[in-house]
Amino acid sequence: MIDGSIILVGGPASGKTNYIARLWLAFQAKKGTLRADHLPENVEYVNEAVSHVLSRKFAPRSERNMEESARRDFTLSVRGDEGAGPARNLTVPDITGELWKRALETYELPQEWIDALAGCSSAIIFIRANSKLNRQPMDWVTAREVLKGHEDDDDDDTEEDDADYGLDEDEDGEQIARTVVRPLAGQPATTEVKALAVSPEEGPTEPILADAEVHATSTQDVGLPAQVGFCELVRYLTVTLGERPDGSKPRVAVVVTAWDTIHPDTRAAGPAKYLQDQFPMLAGRLRVPGRLEFGVFGMSIVGGNLRNAAFRRSLKRRNLSDLGYTAVMRDGGVAEDPDVTLPLAWALGD
């Protein structure tokens, strides 16, 4: 039997747990490209998430202490090709979003996880659409404000006001008392020089943002812009993921979760276009695969927002494994495939 591991990558609330729950329903209902022969023994963690979804609620953010030693990995035996492929043991190590977040902030990751990554040749990166946790890149006005303070530090060019110099002073800078005729001619000249010296500085001193806003933006620099975080995660995977058994490139599926929350016009252009518009740096990085192979998917686990009361009511008594879809590009258009195992199957090489 072939062994394989897949690592799930994503910050807090990126949709990892909900995806696992929905995946579980697909396995249990024996639907999709990837099939599980039997349910594994220890599924407590997954069941917890499944029970949330079955009661038509999104699983809450997995609030767990990352120092907690008990890992809740799960292992199951799956076959590709709708159950016709060879059986393989699939291990899904359970790295919490908090741990990924910390890895981004401090570059630190416990050795056991570095080992786990090296043992994997597949990964899924979860990116939640329309998440308020997705920080946007700095805008021009904020950057200008930040840089202004910064440039003042660097600027050793003393802005000496030379308007006072050269007005017939003696060597100690004292006015020589013979400028009775000067004021008339000298006055306009003096003001002109002053205006010149001051004018370049006038712009910067204009309050562009209210003080409170400037303060808010300057203290915001905890955490990276979302796309930079995603690029860094890709970089971590580039340096850690192991080769596939057949020597081919490790595969990384990029899954845009909460796909149904995106405007239909945007959805029609497909997940890759969505990434291009929202996270251009990540899209650029995915365009240049290098050591990894990338696939981009959109994912809606139940086809709508469970926090919407009307939608939630509409699901009463429905079998949730019939709902939800994967958005993939096929034949030049976007297809909504009811098979939610697609990203996993692709990442595993099917």
Which pairs with CB-CB distance under 8 Å and at least 24 residues apart come from 143-148? 144/208, 145/208, 145/209, 145/214, 145/217, 145/218, 146/217, 146/218, 148/204
Residue 54 or 208: the one with the smaller Cβ distance to other proteins is: 208
Q: How far apart are the first and last CA of the chain?
A: 16
Vertex 82 angle, CA 324 and 41, to 5°: 80
Closest distance to other proteins from the beta carbon of 26 (Å):
33
Residue 221 or 322: the one with the smaller Cβ distance to other proteins is: 221
Residue 200 or 247: the one with the smaller Cβ distance to other proteins is: 200
Closest distance to other proteins from the beta carbon of 139 (Å):
8
HSE-CB of 252 using CA atoms within 13 angstroms = 30
Nearest to 278 by CA among 308, 248, 258, 302: 258
What distance in Å separates the CA atoms of residue 336 and residue 278, rounded to the nearest whole number? 21
Closest distance to other proteins from the beta carbon of 7 (Å):
14
Closest distance to other proteins from the beta carbon of 199 (Å):
8
What distance in Å separates the CA atoms of residue 2 and residue 215, rounded to the nearest whole number? 55
Residue 27 or 279: the one with the smaller Cβ distance to other proteins is: 279
Closest distance to other proteins from the beta carbon of 272 (Å):
14
- By the 8 A CB rule, do 70 and 80 touch? no
Please name the residues in contact with 161: beta carbons below 8 A apart, sequence gap of 6 or more.
194, 197
Closest distance to other proteins from the beta carbon of 204 (Å):
7
Residue 2 or 196: the one with the smaller Cβ distance to other proteins is: 196
Residue 92 or 231: the one with the smaller Cβ distance to other proteins is: 231
- By the 8 A CB rule, do 109 and 103 touch? yes
Provide the 8-state DSSP code for 177: T
- By the 8 A CB rule, do 264 and 287 touch? no
Residues in contact with other proteins by the rule CB under 8 A: 103, 106-111, 114, 137-138, 140, 143-144, 146-147, 149-151, 153-157, 162, 193, 196-197, 200, 203-204, 206, 221, 224-225, 227-228, 231-232, 235-236, 239-240, 276, 280-281, 284-285, 287-288, 290
Closest distance to other proteins from the beta carbon of 250 (Å):
16
What distance in Å separates the CA atoms of residue 97 and residue 133, rounded to the nearest whole number? 12
Would you call 55 exposed, middle or buried from its count of C-beta atoms within 10 A (0-12, 13-18, 19+)?
exposed
Residue 76 or 252: the one with the smaller Cβ distance to other proteins is: 252
